[in-house]
Amino acid sequence: MTAGAVGGGGLVGGRSFDPESAAWVRDLSPGSPKFQDACRRLYGLLVKIARREARRRSSILGLAGPEFDDVAHQAAADALVRITRKIGEFRGDAQFKTWAYKFVMREVAVKVGRHAWRDPRVSLGGDGTRLAPASVCDEPLDQVQASELRAALVHAIENALTERQRNIFVGVAIDHIPPDTLAVELETNRNAIYKSVFDARRKIRAYLVANELIW
Residue 116's pLDDT is what? 54
pTM: 0.54
Q: Give residues with Cβ within 8 angstroms of 20, minimum separation 6.
A: 95, 96, 97
Q: Give residues with Cβ within 8 angstroms of 183, minimum separation 6.
A: 189, 190, 192, 193
Over the chain (215 residues), what is each successive 10-residue block's mean pLDDT? 44 70 92 94 94 74 71 91 91 88 83 57 42 39 56 79 86 80 80 91 85 60
Residue 167's pLDDT is what? 83
Residue 155's pLDDT is what? 77
Please list the residues that pair with 15 across neighbouring strands: 12
What is the SS3 string spanning the chain? CCHHHECCCCEECCEECCHHHHHHHHHHCCCCCCHHHHHHHHHHHHHHHHHHHHHHHHHHHCCCHHHHHHHHHHHHHHHHHHHHHCHHHCCCCCCHHHHHHHHHHHHHHHHHHHHHHHCCCCCCCCCCCCECCCCCCCCHHHHHHHHHHHHHHHHHHHHCCCHHHHHHHHHHHHCCCCHHHHHHHCCCCHHHHHHHHHHHHHHHHHHHHHCCCEC
Residue 160's pLDDT is what? 85
Minimal CA–CA distance to 92: which of 13, 35, 21? Answer: 21
Residue 52's pLDDT is what? 87
